[in-house]
Amino acid sequence: MSTTKEPWYFCTDIHRESDEYNWKKLFFPIRKQSEYLKLFEDTDSYTIVGEATPNYINSQEAPKNIYEFNPKAKLLCIIREPLSFIKSSFYQSLKTGHETEINLFKALELEKERRKWKYLPKKIRNPQRLFYTEKINFTRNLQRYLEYFPANQIKVIIYEEFKKDNQKTIDGITDFLWVERIHINKKELNKAKNTRYPKIRNLLQNNFMSNIAIKYFPKNIISILWKILDYVTTTNKKSKELPENEKIKLMQKFKPEVIKINNLLHKNNLIDPKIDLVKYWGYDQV
């Protein structure tokens, strides 16, 4: 895999959005092909190389850019039940300081205005990060890739299936990539945490404080400081469950998308024929 975990190289539309919103401040520095290829300099002995930038799925231009770079590329995509995906995305943005609204419903209400670049946090690198309902347009996003790549070069993973059986999913991925199977020990990584003291966290994570830390402290000390900050300002305590009536309203809103993505996946043989996502995710009950 690339030395930088998420290069953000192919999503050129997100680059422009970020540059314009932040007055040309370069948050995504890998823009030239030569810079991108440097991320793979030590991979000459490997049969297959790759990288993981989840936001390629939300980019309008990434599919074409990836195709022009390598039309034989194989693509991995994970999709998740929309409501749990939005919650996860929201709490992750809150944890990293990109989100300043601590109430999920208020954040969803703000989305319409945020699309006009209003009520956005100063720290946000790219506004579309906070367009939560935009991210669950799975059908539209996947269709963009199917316009360039045949279905046999795309593997869609259902997050809940991966969570249920890590090894089975990994076996499917290695078979898809034509590489040797590997055994993994089940381990929960990047476990979702809830943010406490968000104002303190945002203050310490702002650009001014980050620049001071980078200027006066070595990398190993900065790493320790961030771990301390993360420990103090996060908790393993589960977030409050959404009120049942609000949960049902959101699921009713998302149901048409669930039906569409289910049909698209089955049409292109990208999902187990036995899985009906409408029932699998409980949308047949709303």
Residue-wise pLDDT tens digits, 80-95: 999 999 999 998 888 8
Q: Enter the tokens of residue 6.
A: 């998420």
pLDDT value of residue 215: 64
pLDDT value of residue 200: 64
64/148 Cα distance (integer angstroms): 7
DSSP state of 239: P
Q: Enter the tokens of residue 16.
A: 């422009």
Mind listing the pLDDT tens digit for each residue in 86-123?
Answer: 999 998 888 888 888 988 989 999 999 999 999 998 87
Q: Enter the tokens of residue 70.
A: 């390598």
46/44 Cα distance (integer angstroms): 6
74/53 Cα distance (integer angstroms): 14
Identify the residue with better confidence: 199 or 141.
Answer: 141
Q: How confident is the model at residue 58 (pLDDT cuts 50, 70, 90)?
A: very high
Mean pLDDT score, 18-23 = 91
**pTM of the entire structure?**
0.83
Q: How confident is the model at residue 209 (pLDDT cuts 50, 70, 90)?
A: low
Beta strands in the chain (DSSP E): 75-79, 154-158, 194-195, 234-235
Q: How far is CA 30 from CA 10, 48, 76, 87, in A?
A: 9, 21, 21, 30
98/92 Cα distance (integer angstroms): 9
pLDDT value of residue 193: 59
Mean pLDDT score, 184-199 = 65
